[in-house]
Amino acid sequence: MKSSFEKIVGTDTPVLVDFYADWCGPCKMLAPILKEVKAQMGDALKIVKIDVDKNQRLAAEHQVRGVPTMMLFVKGKQVWRQSGVLQKQDIINIIESHG
């Protein structure tokens, strides 16, 4: 049986996963940027935020060693990942290049 994470990222819509932590300063900077990305991309993108402290096993499975770490999944396959904060247009360009 597929995990709920696999179901979420296995859709036809690209999924941007944001591994974050409440105590992480850069994560707090990234949150409003991701809101802007979602506002601009609308239904063409799904954004999922995953708290690494509450989902340690999932973070370990995806080898998340630092937060924030963003991963882009297209049809269930991870096509891109990066740690740290990116600007809105950089994130959109990456998503569109894999879309």
Structure tokens at 94: 């990456």
Please say if 27 is a catalytic residue. Answer: yes
Q: Give the residues across from 73 on adjacent strands.
A: 15, 78
Catalytic site residue from 27, 67, 74, 91: 27
Residues 6+ apart with CB under 8 A from 31: 20
- pLDDT tens track for 46-99: 999 999 999 999 999 999 999 999 999 999 999 999 999 999 999 999 999 997
CATH of 4-98, picked from 3.30.70.20, 3.40.30.10, 1.25.40.10, 3.20.20.70, is: 3.40.30.10
Domain residue spans of the chain: 4-98
The catalytically annotated residue of 8, 24, 47, 48 is 24
Q: What is the pTM of this model?
A: 0.95
SS3 17: strand
- For CA atoms 4, 6, 12, 15, the dihedral sign is positive
Catalytic residue status for 4: no
CB 16 within 8 A of CB 37: yes
Helix/strand/coil for 65: coil
